[in-house]
Amino acid sequence: MKTNIITLITLIIIIAGCGGGGGEVSTSPEKSVTLTPSTEDETKETTTTNELNSTPEFNFISNTKLDIKLPASPSTNITYFINICTAFSTENNEVEINYDSCKLRTSLTTEEQAFILSISAAELMLVAQIWPIEDGAQPITLYWNINEYGNSWKITI
């Protein structure tokens, strides 16, 4: 209730202020009713969590589900292992991965595999690195970003 009263008062002040502004408002009448400024003011006015309201179902957790489909192994003689990780950097076309950040670590099998990963909404890019487990191994490195692929990633090699 306290929030509603404050919001109402704010709207009245804003509208009154705009309405009394004279010619500038009349040339652009839509602006006089826009609620954008009032939204900012609402944020300022609600200063304590105690004033917030939530539906009983909402659990306050945010995350992103990512459907991942892994390719079949290209070889039946050599095991291929894949790491899918969130923390990495690239420099001079070389990727450096923090393997502690890997969300999925598994071997490729003779068939495609599907996984659903839950990641932070703050994570916008992933790296996949596929290693043949053999002497002198060289990895295959692939990337996912949410803007390009959305919430699914079909990895192909």
Partner 1 sequence: MLYSKNIKRYFFACLISFHGIINADPFESCPSNAFLMQESVAQLYGVNLVTGDYSLLSSDLGTTDKINAIGFNFHDNYIYGWGYQWGTLVRIGDDYQATSLPLENNPGVNFYVGDIAISENTYYFYRKGVDHGLYKVSLDEQSNDHLKVIKVINGQDLSINIYDFAFHPEDKFAYTVDRNGQLYQINVTTGGIVGLGNIGETGTFGAVYFDVDGNFYISRNSDGHVFIIDIAQLNPTATFFAYGPSASQNDGARCAVAPVIDESIAATTDYGDAPDSYGTTLFNNGARHGVSDIYLGSTITTEHNANVYPKTDQDDGITFLTPLLSGSDSLIEVAATGAGYLNIWGDWNRDGIFTPDEKLLSDKYMDNTTEVLLVNTPISALNGFTWTRARFTSITSIVASGGVADGEVEDYRVLVTNAGNSQIQDTPYYVAFEDSWPVKGDYDMNDVVILQNSSLLLTDSFEVKQIEFQGELKALGAAYRNGFAIQLDNVLPSNVNSDLVRFQINGVLQQISAIEADTQYLVIKITDDLESHIQLSAACDYYKTETNCSNSSQMTFSVTVPFIIPISLDVFPEAPYNPFIFAKEATYHGDNFNQPGRALEIHLKNRMPTSKADPNMFGIADDNTQISSNYNYQTVNGLPWALAINPGSQEEWRHPSETVDILQAYPKFKSFVESNGNKETNWFSRINSDLSKLY
Is position 143 an interface residue for partner 1 (rule: CB under 8 A)? no
Is position 22 an interface residue for partner 1 (rule: CB under 8 A)? no
- Of 4-12, 18-26, 38-46, 144-152, the window that binds partner 1 (rule: CB under 8 A) is 38-46
- Using CB under 8 A, which of 5, 20, 57, 156 touches partner 1? 57
73: phi then psi, degrees, rounded to nearest 5: -65, 140
By CB under 8 A, the count of residues binding partner 1 is 51
Please, which residues have CB within 8 angstroms of residue 105's CB and are 6 or more apart in sequence? 81, 82, 83, 84
Is position 73 an interface residue for partner 1 (rule: CB under 8 A)? no
Is position 91 an interface residue for partner 1 (rule: CB under 8 A)? no
Q: Which of residues 92-131 bind partner 1 (CB under 8 A)?
A: 98-107, 109, 115, 117-123, 129, 131
Is position 152 an interface residue for partner 1 (rule: CB under 8 A)? no
Chain residues binding partner 1 by CB under 8 A are: 42-43, 46-50, 52-63, 79, 81, 83, 86-87, 98-107, 109, 115, 117-123, 129, 131, 133-137, 139
